[in-house]
Amino acid sequence: MIEFAILLLFPAAMAFAAASDFITMTIPNRISIALVFGFVLLAPFTGMTMMTAGIHVLAGFSVLAVCFGLFAFGFIGGGDAKLLAVCALWMGWPGTMTFLIYTSLFGGLLALVLVSLRKLPLPAGLSRFDFIDRLHVDGGDAPYGIAIAAGALTTYPSTFWMQALGA
Per DSSP, the chain holds a count of helices (H) and strands (E) of 7, 0
Q: Looking at 18-22, 125-129, 141-145, which range is the least confident one?
A: 125-129
Phi-psi domain of 49 (left: phi exceeds 0; alpha: psi -120 through 50; beta: other): beta
55 pLDDT band, cuts 50/70/90, is very high
Q: What is the mean pLDDT of the chain?
A: 93
Q: Looking at 29-38, 40-49, 157-166, which range is the least confident one?
A: 157-166
Residue 167: predicted pLDDT? 62
Residue 166: predicted pLDDT? 80
> With 70 as the cut, is the pLDDT of residue 22 above it?
yes
**HEC letters along 144-159:** CHHHHHHHHHHHHHHC
> With 70 as the cut, is the pLDDT of residue 1 above it?
yes
129 pLDDT band, cuts 50/70/90, is confident
Q: Looking at 59-68, 91-100, 124-133, which range is the least confident one?
A: 124-133
Q: Considering the entire predicted model, what is its pTM?
A: 0.93
Digit-coded pLDDT (tens) for 7-16: 999 999 999 9
Q: What is the mean pLDDT of residues 96-123?
A: 94
Residue 83: predicted pLDDT? 98
Cα–Cα distance list, 95 to 17, 89, 146 (Å): 20, 10, 18
Q: Are 84 and 147 in contact (CB under 8 A)?
A: no
Q: Looking at 49-63, 132-146, 148-162, which range is the least confident one?
A: 132-146
Q: How close are the terminal C-alpha atoms of the chain, in Å?
A: 16
Domain boundaries, the chain: 2-165
